[in-house]
């Protein structure tokens, strides 16, 4: 897992606001309070941290050009510029629209390693990312852990209050929760991050 990949995951997963009570609503739709609260917290901080992430990439590009390595890394730099601009402008009209944009961004830019490999000296680029984004990434990582802990507890309460009928109707959600919980117990942050966005699709299939 590259440092740039971890930085990107940090944007998608950081959320500091406390999640609402999971027992406030049980319906599997966009009016569910757990869903709405998670979307609101996620979107709020994703957009804020997206701006910081974009600035880190801007600094990496500046460093490459200052070193006289702009021409040989032209292709990779264009990729970074695109990601930086998208990261700084994630906000759409509503929270759900912003969430959809973030999820599309995640799908479009999921293979970060391929972008890194397009540079003449990938290891040097990663060194610059580490230098320019070290503090940001560390802060992302710590808040990811806090978020996953709060989110996991809310999910646990939510599933406990599901009726037998609801459990029978939403077996896929329970299977997803079981795998997510296993990764949380094992402190597998990367795998948790990969599963996190799937949570929203159970309540909003149009995403």
Condensed to tens digits (0 to 9), the pLDDT of residues 161-192 reads: 888 999 999 999 999 999 999 988 888 887 88
Q: Confidence band (pLDDT; 50, 70, 90) for 108?
A: low
CB-facing half-sphere around the CA of 151: CA atoms within 13 A: 32
pTM: 0.75
- Helix, strand, coil percentages (3-state) for the chain, rounded to 5, are 75, 0, 25
> Which 8-state DSSP code applies to residue 70?
T
Q: Is the pLDDT of residue 14 over 80?
A: no
Q: E-assigned strands of the chain? A: none
Q: Estimate the crossing angle of helix 189-196 against helix 122-160, to 10 degrees.
A: 70
Condensed to tens digits (0 to 9), the pLDDT of residues 21-70 reads: 444 445 899 888 889 888 988 888 788 888 888 999 999 999 999 999 99
Report the alpha-carbon distance of residue 86 to residue 90 in Å, rounded.
6
């Amino acid at each position: 897992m590259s440092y740039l990949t971890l930085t990107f995951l940090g944007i998608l997963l950081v959320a500091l606001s406390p999640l609402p009570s999971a027992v406030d609503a049980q319906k599997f739709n966009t009016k569910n309070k757990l869903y709405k609260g998670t979307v609101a917290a996620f979107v709020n901080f994703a957009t804020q941290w997206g701006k910081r992430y974009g600035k880190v990439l801007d600094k990496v590009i500046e460093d490459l050009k200052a070193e006289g390595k702009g021409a040989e890394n032209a292709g990779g730099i264009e990729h970074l510029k695109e990601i930086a601009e998208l990261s700084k402008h994630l906000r759409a009209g509503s929270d759900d629209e912003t969430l959809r944009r973030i999820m599309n961004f995640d799908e479009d830019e999921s293979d970060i390693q391929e972008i890194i490999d397009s540079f003449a000296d990938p290891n040097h680029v990663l060194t610059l990312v580490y230098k320019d984004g070290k503090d940001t990434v560390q802060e992302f990582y710590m808040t990811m852990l806090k978020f996953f802990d709060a989110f996991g507890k809310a999910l646990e309460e939510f599933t406990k209050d599901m009726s037998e009928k609801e459990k029978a109707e939403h077996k896929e959600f329970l299977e997803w929760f079981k795998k997510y919980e296993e990764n949380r117990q094992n402190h597998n942050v990367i795998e948790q991050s990969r599963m996190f966005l799937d949570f929203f699709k159970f309540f909003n299939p149009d995403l």
